[in-house]
Amino acid sequence: MDQWALRFFESSTELLAVLHPDGRILQANAAWRGVVGWPPEALKAEGYRSFVHPEDLGAMDAQLLALGGGEGRANLSCRWRCHDGAWVSLSWSVVSSGEDGWLFCTVRPPVPPAFTPEARSWSMSDSLPFGLYLMETRADRILYANHRFCQMAGVEAVEALIRKGALSHSQLIHHHLSPQNAKAFFHSEARQGTPPLALEDREVALESGRLLRRLATPMATADGKMSYILYLFEDVTERRRTENALLSSELNFHKLIEGMPDGVFVHRNRRFIYVNNSLRMALGYEHESELIGKSIWSIVHPDDLGLVRERVHTIDNRREIVPLQEIRYLRRDGSWYDAESTGVPVEFNGEEASVVIARDITERKRMQAQLLQTDRMALVGTLAAGVGHEINNPLSYVIANLNLALESLRLPTRECECSLEATGAPGYAASLRELEELLQEAQEGANRVRNIVRDLKSFSRQDAERRTEVSVQESLDFSIKMASVELRHRAHLIRKYEPVPPVYADTSRLGQVFLNLLMNAAQAIPEGSNARNQITVWVRPGPPGQVAVDVSDTGAGISPEVQDRIFDPFFTTKPVGSGTGLGLSICHGIIRSLGGEISVSSELGKGTTFTVLLPA
């Protein structure tokens, strides 16, 4: 119940209540104490069945049960036990909310004592807020009508005649009221001289659109010689508008909460009492009833329990709003998701409770991680370009001089060996051969440095690509041939090629990605075990508009900690000197530049799968 509705509810002088079809009084306002002597807390604690007279309980239960199953309204009456033990007759106007079965009730206390022909009190009756009309059925006489009735019926012009007894009931109906208003004000049986059999309470509409509550009851003298019908009329137009506005406010609030993309739940005493559809789906439950009544701690990550307990304590004891905080929640399948949560103290169904709003930020955190990765790679790329340039210049001198030294050493080597052998200095010839080997090793080392520099330049390069339609299968076959030496001694290769459209990419760069993934898969498997291990290359349709390529191995697998850093520049799990840590970073950059994605999934002891998604 929103604050406006709650203020109206509590301040109303009318007896207002909200019932549940099972008999509970969900809410009652303070006006009840003045009529029945019971405070609202006592009413809510007992339920209406503890107060309704046993003879009236069956009929009341039946009418409320009928309303609880759908939308509608009804008028009913019952005797109610007061705090002092006395019984008072109450008239109820009940409206069903439809969706949750709640019943919104407006209750009226007893009407003033009926006026007899012998005890007319015009001045008193004219001050009443409702209309009174008393007729003698056998003589068709108007015995009593107050000013409020004449106003409601629009017959102020003949009010004096009514008070003098100069106007009959039939004359009033046929000559001064329209057919619709006549039917609204009076029973059709009254025109035929037949009184109602018991108290009747119903609502009727006038031509003007005003809504009246009409009570009619038969009366008679002790000897039975005279019979009467007493009518009481109350204009309930504004009350119904208020009730409808209150009901609409409740329904709109419920629709708003149910339509929110954020998860919302209400808890009291640390247990769920309401869960909206978004939270139910985020947690992976089929129905909200699976959560209602459960402890709220059951969905909170153990590491966040201390923080959440402090926040709940702040809401419950200080009745303060707690700010946004990142909390991890447990899904039904055992996985966790991150959400930004805030808590608000509220009154829910008449009792203090707490509302928690949880916004799923899993996707946002993933995008932030991708942005961080992109920024990091851009920074490292800039650094790599500078480092590569600075190394490449002196390296070119080293390689050129080593090549020249080797060529110079090799030309006269045979002649020198023959001369040295002739002069008896064979040890010097061996030293020349050893020097040649040392120069070759230095040349190999310099070339390795040159390859590293080339990788650095490739990592930082922003050259324009030459993109064409590329067959993924053909690109993979070429890369497999290039890696065949590494593959054949380590694992059995399996190709699974499903029909897919070509992708728009740079042939050489795409081949570079596939070759790197194949080499990594091979190196994850020890040599000489090709009969026990396999590498699978699977080409398949991906999500709409994409082609998927999976490269899987049955190697040792990758730990979750390493998976988080697998695409970081210069990060490697290979021994020192066996890798630069740029391969997967370069692959990541190439695939992202093509508008695709690359991801890894792995389990220790079972193997690893790299998945590449490319736009078709």
As a whole number of angstroms, the distance between CA 550 and CA 362 comes to 25
Nearest to 588 by CA among 600, 577, 575: 600
Question: Under the phi-then-psi rule, with left for phi > 0, alpha for psi from -120 to 50, and beta for the rest, what region is 17?
Answer: beta
Beta strands in 430-489 (DSSP E): 467-470
The answer on pLDDT for 114 being more than 70 is no
| Structure confidence by residue, pLDDT tens digits, 6-50 | 777 887 778 899 988 788 899 999 889 888 889 999 999 988 999
Residue whose structure tokens are 């169904």? 349
Q: Which two tokens stand for residue 406?
A: 């080797």
Question: Could you tell me which residues come within 8 angstroms of residue 454 by beta carbon, excluding any fewer than 6 positions away?
Answer: none
Least confident segment among 152-161, 173-182, 193-202, 308-317? 193-202
What does the pLDDT read at residue 295?
Answer: 95
Query: What are the angstrom distances between the C-alpha of 67 and each of 43, 75, 91, 182?
Result: 21, 11, 16, 29
- 371 compared with 11, residue with greater pLDDT: 11
- Asked whether the beta carbons of 321 and 343 are under 8 A apart, the reply is yes
Look at the chain and count its residues. 616
Mean pLDDT of the chain: 81
What does the pLDDT read at residue 611?
Answer: 96
Least confident segment among 49-63, 182-196, 212-226, 442-456? 182-196
Instruction: For the chain, give the percent of residues with pLDDT over 70.
Output: 82
- Asked whether the beta carbons of 363 and 308 are under 8 A apart, the reply is no
As a whole number of angstroms, the distance between CA 600 and CA 506 comes to 23
Strand, helix or coil at 415? helix
What does the pLDDT read at residue 298?
Answer: 94
As a whole number of angstroms, the distance between CA 520 and CA 479 comes to 13
Handedness of CA 269, 273, 274, 279 (dihedral sign): positive
The answer on pLDDT for 473 being more than 90 is yes
Count Cα neighbours of 498 within 13 Å in the Cβ-side half-sphere: 9
What does the pLDDT read at residue 412?
Answer: 58
